[in-house]
Amino acid sequence: MTTTAPAGILFDWDNTLIDSWPSIIQAMNTTLDAMGHTPWTVEECHARIGRSMREAFPELFGERWLDARTVFQDTFAAIHLDMLVPLAGAEVMLADLVDRGLYLGVVSNKTSAFLRTEAAALGWDRYFGRLVGAGDAARDKPASDPVHLALQGSGLTAGESVWFAGDTLVDMQCGADSGCPGILIHPNPPGAEAFPGCAPRLVFRGCEDFHHFVRNLPVPKRVEQ
């Protein structure tokens, strides 16, 4: 039973704090078409997208994966800011959690330059101690490397006092690999069987529900290190 708020929360970015499926799907299907592959349905995109390009694209496109990455990045760069939509309650939640003294960070498999550009465009970079995107750490999610990088300078270490909030299996795997409780934020959450070995500790249908839960928990005192 969770009786106190965490000292810190690391958030996934895409489809945890912002609705980025439209831009990701458009860029992905443009890439698939350019590389001679059949475009994916929305359902296939939801099921197959989650890992970083440097991990997923070599498997999908083989030796031409760098060409595919260029197509994806060029397409995404042209559309992502125009299609940037925060999820309901996300900014109110972030502002309140920071006001309450929680450390916040982002661990995303989005290319780091795109991640930081989007956070700055929304004015949300002020809420986070660190924004860690794909390529910033030696390995990307689900490895624990970006979690440790996101906590550098915070006085916190990965563990029970730091929650990892996201919407995908990769996020729950990353939390488990880091020793952080995984918090699933998903409008239609799948059952625990969808997360073998990394079942989420808590499940919420959106930022507003998660915020309502956390704001009613006492915040532990931070111990300076």
pLDDT at 3: 80
DSSP 120-183: HHHT-GGG-SEEEEETSSSS-TTSSHHHHHHHTTTT--SSTTEEEEESSHHHHHHHHHHTPPEE
Q: What residue spans in the chain does CATH classification 1.10.150 cover? A: 21-79
Question: pLDDT class for 211, splitting at 50, 70, 90?
Answer: very high
* Domain range 8-19+85-215, CATH architecture: 3-Layer(aba) Sandwich (3.40)
142 prior amide bond cis, ω within 30:
yes
pLDDT at 220: 76
Q: What residue spans in the chain does CATH classification 3.40.50.1000 cover? A: 8-19+85-215
In this predicted model, what pLDDT tens digit does every residue of 151-195 receive, in sequence order? 999 999 999 999 999 999 999 999 999 999 999 999 999 998 999
Q: What percentage of the chain exceeds 70 in pLDDT?
A: 97
Q: Is the pLDDT of residue 224 over 50?
A: no
The pTM for the full model equals 0.93
Q: Name the H helices within the chain.
A: 21-34, 42-48, 53-61, 65-79, 90-99, 112-122, 145-151, 169-178, 207-215
- Identify the CATH number of the domain defined by range 21-79: 1.10.150
